[in-house]
Amino acid sequence: MGFDIDQRSIGFLLTRTSIANKKVLSRALLPYDITPEQYGVLSRLFRKDGISQKQLSELIVRDQTSIGKVLDKLERKALIVRQDDPTDRRAFLLYLTTKGRELAELLVSHVEAIHAKASEGIAEEDIDVFVKVINQLYRNLK
pLDDT in tens, 105-140: 999 999 999 999 999 999 999 999 999 999 999 899
Q: What's CA 104's distance to the chain center, in Å?
A: 12
Query: Is 70 exceeded by the pLDDT of residue 2?
Result: no
Long-range contacts of 55-63 (CB under 8 A, 24+ apart): 56/94, 62/37
Asked if residues 42 and 96 have their Cβ atoms less than 8 Å apart, the reply is yes
Distances (CA, A) of 3 to 11, 13, 14, 17: 14, 14, 17, 20
pLDDT in tens, 7-17: 778 888 899 99
d(CA 73, CA 32): 14
Total Cβ atoms within 10 A of residue 30? 10
What are the structural domains, with CATH classification, of the chain? 32-141 (1.10.10.10)
Task: Decide which of 64 and 1 is more confident.
Answer: 64
